[in-house]
């Protein structure tokens, strides 16, 4: 792709050449960034909770796996285009709305079925909630101190933010946030497992490693997490250190697995916001007219991008009739194929395509 | 014995059974993913089916930024993985035959998966199972070769690939007699 090699990149070149690969560079800057954040959050390392050390290692392994996957993925020509143009269009007004829709309330999943939407909300938000509580604690970006009796001070990034009553509602919610998230995830996972047992199509297609393992892992984490609370509250901490290790182990295994299996869609999903912006922005700018019927069917930009991506893959669809196949709207492209099969110029016949929907 | 989908286009009588059968395949959620076209609508009633030909080097999958379109070990090019598809519609623009369909509400692409839950076990796809006119057939490579011998055409036009298609495909297509310059006897 010529467009990516511009003079502006020359200055970056010197920084890039200091690292063996994109991977090394991203890894380096992320770990440094993380270390700085921990440094600030812990008031210069004076307040680290070493019980959570295992999670810290797990997170770093996860980051490594994530970059490895993401960079390999981002090198593919079509992905590169979406990432590049998506970043450029990030500050559109519609971004916020699309992001909330795609990443928070999952409207499009509701259209695929209410049951699946509910299960996704429970699992998704259960996990987000758990991460929002766990990771700030792990890296000591947030912790609690008790100066006055009966009041906790919440310290975020080294600053005292609020004082809460130790038996108040906010404190209760914070102690129980992980229990609530565990119950959400368990409910969601059970719904998903039930669907996978009952739905014949799901049963025919599912693979253990891809479809079931992530569910079992989430279940494993949530159940061991909840058991910790049970041991604490009802069994006076009986066998709690052991369970705590098992729980930590389950989280670390999941973090390592995450970039490679089905759960990888979590870090990659924001790309759907890029894709929407890309379609909307270039669609408003200039639409492509079908070379046969003249209907607008896609943005000029996307049509060109697809032709270019296919060229890189050594796939060329330039026809003798003087167009590229990506320049025909879909009905015309199908009719054009029929004409190639039959020798009759079907696509030139001014006749609306017959109904192609079996359900009328 | 590995069998493949094989189309004898001009046998089509336009009954659209294949479209109806497609809706009934597991996972297709009542929506068909194939097409039946009138060849010369204002002149005669000849029709031909059109479906994904399961390219060996599929443009749809190559153009997908999310790697949502997987290629099964049988060679079938699968429908988008629901959790991966980001809804960019590149695949619909890339496919040389205009096959992938897009659901804007669900923000999801769906296309023929050759009824993978069936064909992975050697059971023919739904469309082939119901076709009353032998337009769609499920044959081994030997059987396809035998048909080739039977017609004994040495002009390279018997089974389409290049130059009638844009690349090698896993589904085989038999060009109509008109293009072969022969009248076929059944
Ligand atoms: S015919 Fe189109 S949809 Fe089917 S594999 Fe080829 S490019 Fe993909
Ligand atoms: S619409 Fe979905 S399947 Fe098609 S290219 Fe985009 S991400 Fe891939």
Q: pLDDT tens digits for A282-315?
A: 999 999 999 999 899 999 999 999 999 999 998 9
Number of the ligand 2 atom closest to the C-alpha atom of B94: 5
Q: Is the per-residue pLDDT at A1 higher than 60?
A: no
Report the pLDDT value the prediction gives residue B177, as an integer from 0 to 100: 58
Question: Residue B177: closest CA among chain A residues belongs to which residue?
Answer: A342
Q: How far does A20 lie from chain B, in Å, by closest CA?
A: 26
- B106 or A39, which is more confident: B106
Q: What's the rounded Cα separation, in Å, for the pair A301 and A286? A: 8
A358/B16 CB distance under 8 A: yes
Q: What's the rounded Cα separation, in Å, for the pair A214 and A32? A: 30
Q: Is the per-residue pLDDT at B97 higher than 60?
A: yes
Number of the ligand 2 atom closest to the C-alpha atom of B66: 7
Number of the ligand 2 atom closest to the C-alpha atom of B63: 5
Domain ranges of chain A: 20-264, 286-348
Strand partners, A298: A288
Max avg pLDDT among A230-234, B26-30, B116-120 = B116-120
CA of B52 to the centre of ligand 1 (A): 5
Question: What does pTM read for this prediction?
Answer: 0.84
Residue B99, ligand 1, Cβ within 6 A: yes
Q: For residue B90, list chain A residues with Cβ-Cβ distance below 8 A.
A: 78, 302, 305-306, 309
B98/A330 CB distance under 8 A: yes
Q: Distances in Å between the alpha carbon of A196 and those of A208, A312, B23?
A: 11, 39, 21
Q: Pairing between strand B172-174 and B3-8?
A: parallel
B38/A82 CB distance under 8 A: no
Q: Whose CA is nearest to atom 2 of ligand 2?
A: B85
Residue B88, ligand 2, Cβ within 6 A: yes
Compute the average pLDDT of residues B85-89. Answer: 95
Q: Is the per-residue pLDDT at A278 higher than 90?
A: yes
Compute the average pLDDT of residues A142-150. Answer: 75
DSSP 8-state code for residue B43 = T
Query: Which of B78, B111, B125, B171 is the best mutation target for the ligand 1 pocket, counting ligand atoms within 8 Å of the beta carbon and taking the most?
Result: B111
Residue B66, ligand 2, Cβ within 6 A: yes
- Looking at 1.20.950, 1.20.120, 3.40.50, 2.40.50, the CATH number of the domain A20-264 comes to 1.20.950
Report the pLDDT value the prediction gives residue A48, as an integer from 0 to 100: 62
Average pLDDT, chain A: 84
Q: Is the per-residue pLDDT at A279 higher than 80?
A: yes
Peptide bond into A21 cis (omega under 30): no
Report the pLDDT value the prediction gives residue B105, as an integer from 0 to 100: 92
A346/B164 CB distance under 8 A: no
Q: pLDDT tens digits for A324-352?
A: 999 999 999 999 998 888 878 888 888 88
Compute the average pLDDT of residues A24-38. Answer: 76
Q: Which value does ipTM take for this structure?
A: 0.90
């Amino acid at each position: 792709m010529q467009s990516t090699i511009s003079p502006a990149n020359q200055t970056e070149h010197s920084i890039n050449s200091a690292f063996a690969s994109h991977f090394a560079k991203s890894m380096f800057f992320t770990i440094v960034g993380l270390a700085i954040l921990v440094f600030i959050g812990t008031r210069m390392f004076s307040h680290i909770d070493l019980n959570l050390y295992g999670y810290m290692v797990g997170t770093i392994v996860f980051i490594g796996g994530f970059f490895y996957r993401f960079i390999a993925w981002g090198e593919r020509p079509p992905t590169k285009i979406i990432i590049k143009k998506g970043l450029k269009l990030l500050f559109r007004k519609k971004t916020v709305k699309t992001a909330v829709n795609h990443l928070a309330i999952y409207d499009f999943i509701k259209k695929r079925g209410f049951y699946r939407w509910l299960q996704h909300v429970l699992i998704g938000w259960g996990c987000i909630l758990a991460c929002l509580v766990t990771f700030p604690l792990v890296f000591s970006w947030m912790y609690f101190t008790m100066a006055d009796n009966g009041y906790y001070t919440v310290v975020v990034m080294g600053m005292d933010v609020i004082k809460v009553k130790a038996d108040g509602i906010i404190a209760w919610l914070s102690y129980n946030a992980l229990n609530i998230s565990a119950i959400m995830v368990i409910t969601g996972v059970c719904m998903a497992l039930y669907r996978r047992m009952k739905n014949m199509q799901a049963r025919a297609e599912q693979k253990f490693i891809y479809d079931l393992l992530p569910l079992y892992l989430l279940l494993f984490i949530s159940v061991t997490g909840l058991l910790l609370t049970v041991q604490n509250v009802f069994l006076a901490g009986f066998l709690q250190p052991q369970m705590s290790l098992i729980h930590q182990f389950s989280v670390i295994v999941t973090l390592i697995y995450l970039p490679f299996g089905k759960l990888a869609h979590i870090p990659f999903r924001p790309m759907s916001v890029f894709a929407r912006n890309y379609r909307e922005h270039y669609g408003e700018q200039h639409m492509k007219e079908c070379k046969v019927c003249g209907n607008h069917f896609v943005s000029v930009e996307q049509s060109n991008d697809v032709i270019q991506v296919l060229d890189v893959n050594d796939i060329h669809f330039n026809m003798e009739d003087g167009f590229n196949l990506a320049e025909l709207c879909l009905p015309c492209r199908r009719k054009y194929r029929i004409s190639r099969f039959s020798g009759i110029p079907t696509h030139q016949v001014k006749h609306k395509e017959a109904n192609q929907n079996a359900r009328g | 014995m590995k069998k493949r989908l094989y189309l004898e286009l001009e046998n089509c009588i336009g009954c659209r059974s294949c479209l109806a059968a497609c809706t009934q395949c597991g996972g297709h959620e009542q929506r068909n993913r194939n097409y039946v076209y009138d060849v010369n609508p204002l002149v005669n009633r000849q029709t031909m089916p059109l479906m994904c030909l399961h390219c060996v080097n599929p443009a749809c999958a190559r153009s997908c930024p999310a790697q949502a379109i997987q290629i099964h070990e049988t060679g079938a090019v699968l429908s988008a993985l629901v959790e991966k598809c980001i809804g960019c519609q590149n695949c619909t623009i890339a496919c040389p035959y205009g096959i992938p369909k897009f659901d804007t509400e669900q923000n999801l692409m769906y296309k023929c998966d050759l009824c993978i839950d069936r064909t992975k076990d050697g059971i023919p796809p739904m469309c082939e199972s119901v076709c009353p006119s032998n337009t769609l057939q499920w044959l081994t490579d030997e059987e396809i070769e035998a048909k080739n011998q039977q017609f004994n055409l040495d002009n390279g036009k018997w089974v389409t690939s290049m130059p009638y298609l844009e690349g090698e495909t896993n589904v085989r297509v038999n060009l109509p007699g008109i293009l072969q310059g022969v009248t076929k006897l059944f």
